[in-house]
Structure 1
């Protein structure tokens, strides 16, 4: 289920490119890409707070209702800001403003869905979450393909089909009652202030991670032509393929580091994922001059160079994800959040410097520089924490010293 979304997303890429063309593909990216990062901001880390407090207190219904009410303000505020930003995007990308604002209402829906997913996660109901994830991947692929091939070559129509697929698939999370016979008073319902404090801290890492990989696609619609954005979107589609392996490596690294494994042991355990990521990235870099024109069409030849640059950045990002997971597993989420924050800062500075003239080549170069600097910071932080912890006797060593002392 985890790989179904990326695989079907990649499969739909050539169809979108050929049906919409470079400009239409750029408009599609301008509509869809901002929803991901804006949706993360709209929820303000409250899904993580949901999992934490619902699982600890056992008061699912009360915690869920309180957090849903707390989410209303951030979600609406984010949507209002995006509606103002839509004025610039609509003009620059030649997309109907009303249609764009309606499409971006999915930001509020996304926040609601994230809270529902967190509720099921607190219940450890993995089956329904896997079903929802797989159903969305299949429905999105079918909706996009049907809309692009049979209905219309309009980017807004195809994007609408994808968003309808999202709403339909996520509705499965609301069909079952997650509170059957729940009258537990095992714990105290946390205060709104406590929930917000926890959510704000959790949101830093989540938003920074998503922004690190999507911020360029959020900003480009306001400063780049639809055609140039279309070339960049195709390059991103190809470059993100190996990132799935990096994400899997980071997931395992977080678990292992949380269990107290050393950095060397963690890297050894995830070496298969990282090795596969390196091999796949190298193969893609070598083959994109043939693959992109063959699959996406000869019109997307400019995407070849962009994909090569972004794929190099994917390698750095994959390693950074693993190192950030190790820091989080060591109980240092703040240091882990610094890694994507460096990437975000580089992208922001780069786009500000070239605002109004951000080509696909410049955007990919800025992205690569951000990925490299993030990796450098990640390496330095992991080494620093490792040396810091080596000075503190481990629990095992303390126990051994006590035993030897008692025996003596």
Structure 2
């Protein structure tokens, strides 16, 4: 009995160590994103920041939809079958490059219809789409590292926002920053990230690998199921920005973007629990894994990821909502005062959104992509209906309320799907949640007592 407890403690400790590393990296990434976003808003102004937000929203949405779930499939199959990892990466890279070329061509043609009447914005849009082939192909190694080396994966994830922030500062020091130059900096940082990922990935998965038809079929099958959830998720997560880009002035969109970037700063921390759980759950389904790593271990990992992400998101949102009014205007100026109200309207949904992201990864690690797709489709429909009903009358405030309500609906659906897959009733989850809180509190109290000497014996 004692040996079993020790083995469970070691597994949980390894999981939480990985989460702490991933969460720390995610928070640094979020910090870089927040600082660079606020810096861009300060330098470009509300109008320029809104234009840049529209460019990023359209290009990232196109990338998420069109990559066909191949990146998630690469992570899943590298974790499930490490011996075939290099073939998976080689095959996936070829598929992603071909898709990237098609996306680049379509985006360059569509740019004048997206940014009507603004030649500089059209040029920036085209520049962002031109880089898509390299960005697509380079992402294969990033996702392979998630399955093989979390430390290398975290380093690669941190590289892009760090390099981007440095490049932005260097541009501002040398000349006037424009939206076009900001897009150049973003593209360069992603390319550097891809090169580093390929170098580190070559060490964790040695050999050349081969393009294999059967591997391509497996990637396409898993990826297509992932795409069924990725498309509605990508549309739903950016639908507010996409809609506001054509309904309101760029200045209003800029204020909305700033509020969103601040209140969502803790999302990467919440997502870390799911990102670490996903390859572990995939490995538990592998024929290469031992029977001891299956069964109750799957339930434990899934439950800890859900509970911890929800608790973390709630605490962070409360803290950010409390301090934002005192700092936002002081840092950004009077033109962003309205962002405070928008931030509060988004807070409720954001507290649940981080847990939603974790549950996405849990279901994908268990191979239940279609369950994610069903939940995300309902989320998209609900968000469209809410945005259509609230945004025309309430503007950016209506969009903030619609996003929060849609996140709540998705949370309920995803939680139900996870419980069905794990064959676990909600009452059991509540009991384990209380046990988790008590265990973590007791561990913290023991550490405190030891550090102060009250827990020592003579």
TM (norm. structure 2) is 0.72
Task: For 1:54 and 1:383, locate their aligned partners in 2 and report how far apart those are by CA, in whole Å.
Answer: 26
Q: Which residue of 2 aligns with 1:340?
A: 376
* Native 8 Å contact 1:220 1:358 kept in 2: no
SS at structure 2 position matched to 1:91: coil
After the TM superposition, which of the residue ranges 5-14 and 44-53 deviates more from structure 2? Answer: 44-53
Task: For 1:346 and 1:94, locate their aligned partners in 2 and report how far apart those are by CA, in whole Å.
Answer: 35
SS at structure 2 position matched to 1:377: helix
- Shift in Å, 1:26: 0.6
Correspondence for 1:99 among 114, 124, 133: 124
After the TM superposition, which of the residue ranges 349-358 and 334-343 deviates more from structure 2? Answer: 349-358
1:329-364 Cα deviation digits (max 9, x unpaired): 555332133333332223334556678888322221
CA 1:3/1:43 → structure 2, altered by over 3 Å: closer, same or farther?
Answer: same
Correspondence for 2:134 among 94, 97, 109: 109
Q: Which residue of 1 aligns with 2:449?
A: none
Q: Which residue of 1 aligns with 2:396?
A: 360
- Shift in Å, 1:149: 5.4
Q: Which residue of 2 aligns with 1:400?
A: none
Q: Which residue of 1 aligns with 2:192?
A: 168
Residue 157, structure 1, aligned to residue 181, structure 2: yes
Residue 237, structure 1, aligned to residue 270, structure 2: no
Task: For 2:115 and 2:263, locate their aligned partners in 1 and report how far apart those are by CA, in whole Å.
Answer: 27
Residue 132, structure 1, aligned to residue 153, structure 2: no
Residue 203, structure 1, aligned to residue 227, structure 2: yes
- Structure 1 gap segments, 5+ residues each: 391-408
- Shift in Å, 1:206: 4.0
Correspondence for 2:322 among 256, 277, 286: 286
1:213-267 Cα deviation digits (max 9, x unpaired): 3333344334432112101110111121121232123335655796535868854
Q: Which residue of 2 aligns with 1:396?
A: none
* Native 8 Å contact 1:59 1:189 kept in 2: no
Q: Which residue of 1 aligns with 2:354?
A: 318
1:20-62 Cα deviation digits (max 9, x unpaired): 1111111121122323222222321222333455673845565
- CA RMSD after TM alignment: 3.6
After the TM superposition, which of the residue ranges 266-275 and 341-350 deviates more from structure 2? Answer: 266-275
CA 1:51/1:324 → structure 2, altered by over 3 Å: closer, same or farther?
Answer: closer
SS at structure 1 position matched to 2:116: helix
* Native 8 Å contact 2:349 2:404 kept in 1: yes
- Count of residues paired in the alignment: 388
Q: Which residue of 2 aligns with 1:381?
A: 417
CA 1:272/1:302 → structure 2, altered by over 3 Å: closer, same or farther?
Answer: same
SS at structure 1 position matched to 2:214: coil
CA 1:168/1:11 → structure 2, altered by over 3 Å: closer, same or farther?
Answer: same
SS at structure 2 position matched to 1:3: helix
TM (norm. structure 1) is 0.80
* Native 8 Å contact 2:58 2:242 kept in 1: yes
After the TM superposition, which of the residue ranges 380-389 and 208-217 deviates more from structure 2? Answer: 380-389
